[in-house]
Chains A and B, each alone.
Chain A
Amino acid sequence: MRFRTASPPAATLADSAPFERQHMIRSWPSLLIGLGIPVIAVLGGIVAFADTSVFVFGIPLLFFWIFLWFPLTSLCLWISWHFFDRQAYPSDVVSS
């Protein structure tokens, strides 16, 4: 078996044809902000606050942290979309 792309594709490949190949890893900053930050924050927070007795506004920190990441995840995705990805997805064109 030849795993031609055992490692994620290089960013340069995407850069050379941004309007053509819109694969997942178009832009590393976008991936880091849109996926990396929420995943690390949510999973890390769960581990860190699993058994805490801290309450924020009367809510257990464990739950408060997850609630906090509802809007923050949208924010991360919006940053990825607005600053990195939007221009690579031209407005809806009917194909036929």
Chain B
Amino acid sequence: MIVAVIFFAILAISVGVSVWARKGHTNSGIGEFLVGGRSFPAWLVYFLAVGEVYSIGTMIGLPSGIYAKGASYGVWFLGYILLAYPVGYFVAPMVWRAGKKYGAMTLPDVFGRHFKSRPLELITCLVMLVGLIPWGQYQFIGLQVVLTSIGVHLTKVTAVILAAIIAFIYVSVSGIRSPAFVSILKDSLMIAAIVVIGALALSHSGGTGATFHSATVPHGLVTMTGGPVIVFALTTIVMQAVTFYLGLSSSYVFPAKSERAVKSSTVWMPMYMLIYPFLIFATYYGVSHNKGSKTPNTIFMVISRELLPDWLLGIVAAAAGLSGILVLAVTALSLGGVVTRNVVPNVAVSRQRRITTVVIGAFIIVAAAITLTGSTLMLTVLTLMYVFFAQLIPCWIGVLFFKGLRPIPICCGMVAGIAMGIVLYEWAPTMGGVNSGMVSLGVNVVVTIIGSILSKKPSVDPIRLLTTAEVHAAQEVPETPNTTSVDATA
């Protein structure tokens, strides 16, 4: 009972924080709602970004992946997040610059305006819609695990509905600003929870040696054996590290107030990963004590329930729950932005926010409904999401670096890549271990390049060639009425 009381008390506090986050920012234009008026300092960008990264996937997904698939799943998970930061350090400031130049609040804003192509804008929306479904599902699977293990008798359906309602409250109150502040609360709880569980797991099993080396942990579970397993880990790391910033980043890069804020906040992000050793300790404690069940997704909560007193279990559950709800909220928000600004044309600025809110609600309902239809290993859903988002990479490369790419071939490339991704997911050939996203991305790149060679359309200068003065000048003359609200709130 105490578990549930603490759990809900913390959720209530978080809703309070999200309301408080609105204070002093009552200007409720769409720009404020989606990108916080492009005003976030480095520290807030830091928390918004790590808040998304260290989501429920960290606490629930990573242990279940290792438990079900062995060390390689731990290795690629840690590896791609770690290497995403050096990539982001160099790329994210340019992503921000592109967003600033086009007065963009969503990714399709950037692509559509850069190439002056409505079809490209729409296809980008399509890629995002397809990609965000597994992402939403990923959060809901985790939330369902957490909510059904806090000791009150919640059915799957109730659990999912409850999570959906709280996520909706966060963003409908004050847009992107509330998740950023709730992140701080969630991160503090999560760090504490993971460190405590890791330490308890170590002391229960008698140190790291006993945790990893005991007779009950097969050697094969702490190593990666065989070419395909290693190839899978390496290709997944490379593909997802790049996709992390060239695909998923707009929601936490655009709200930054400057390139400096984006770049400098990245420097310290890898330090946050120092919580992972504790999580890995706890996971292997679970492996060695053979805690699991037929449902690997629940392994983290099983370990927690065994090691922790009730009140701490409540805090752990709340931290995991908050992180899932938080990411769901940010995802729904960016999706809402995409539909209002890019799919439905010419929505009056004054109505954009209301429509965004409706779309957010719809997305949450759809993602929740899909989750109830089946249970998949969380990290498998995660890789699928990255396969889809990776298809945005060639377009970003065109926007940032190369003059040669043309919009229609990019569209064809994206569609071919998505189709290939779905085929490979259903067919599941081994391909020597190569991540299927890498293969679909290859198809995408080939189509894009060949099409661009054949295309006669004039080329567009990439962001790389812009000067600072041009970026700021571009802002003062918005290309469409949609951009005016950014200027008004900046």
Contact = CB atoms under 8 A, between A and B. Distances in A.
Interface of A: 1-5, 9, 17, 19-25, 31, 34-35, 38-39, 42-43, 46-47, 50-53, 55, 57-60, 62-63, 66-67, 69-71, 73-74, 76-78, 80-81, 85-86, 89-96
Interface string B207-218: 111111100000
B452 interface: yes
A20 B490 contact: no
Given A51-B225, A58-B208, 14 more contacts: A1-B406, A21-B465, A23-B94, A24-B400, A34-B86, A42-B83, A43-B234, A50-B225, A58-B207, A70-B276, A77-B89, A81-B89, A92-B261, A95-B475
Contact of B267 (A43, A51, A81): A81
Nearest to A90: B260
A4 B208 contact: no
Q: Which residue of A3, A9, A96 has the most chain B CB atoms within 10 A of its CB atom?
A: A3
Contact of A70 (B219, B270, B475): B270
B78 interface: yes
Contacts of B459: 1-2
A20 B469 contact: yes
Contact of B223 (A2, A51, A78, A94): A51
A66 B82 contact: yes
Q: How big is the B interface, by class?
A: 35 or more
A3 B404 contact: yes
Interface string B75-114: 1001100110111011101100100100000000000000
B91 A4 contact: no
B200 interface: no
A42 to B, nearest CB: 6
Nearest to A69: B82
B428 interface: no
Interface of B: 41, 71, 74-75, 78-79, 82-83, 85-87, 89-91, 93-94, 97, 100, 207-213, 219, 222-225, 229-230, 233-234, 237-238, 257-261, 263-264, 266-271, 273-274, 276-277, 280, 400-406, 449, 452-453, 455, 459, 463-469, 472, 475-476, 487, 490
A74 B403 contact: no
A63 B229 CA distance: 16
Contact of B210 (A5, A58, A93, A95): A58
Given A17-B467, A59-B208, A74-B268, A67 B277 contact: yes
B404 A66 contact: no
B267 A4 contact: no
Contacts of B472: 95
A67 B270 CA distance: 10
Given A38-B83, A62-B75, A73-B86, A1 B271 contact: no
Contacts of A70: 82, 270-271, 273-274, 276
27 contacts: A1-B406, A1-B459, A2-B404, A4-B402, A21-B467, A22-B259, A24-B400, A34-B90, A38-B83, A38-B86, A51-B223, A52-B223, A53-B219, A55-B212, A59-B208, A60-B223, A63-B277, A69-B82, A70-B273, A71-B271, A74-B268, A74-B271, A77-B266, A77-B270, A85-B263, A89-B263, A90-B260
Nearest to B87: A35
B271 A24 contact: no
B75 A5 contact: no
Contacts of A52: 223
A47 B190 CA distance: 31
B404 A4 contact: yes
Closest 10 CB pairs of A and B: A58-B208, A58-B209, A89-B260, A73-B270, A1-B404, A23-B464, A50-B224, A70-B273, A20-B467, A60-B222
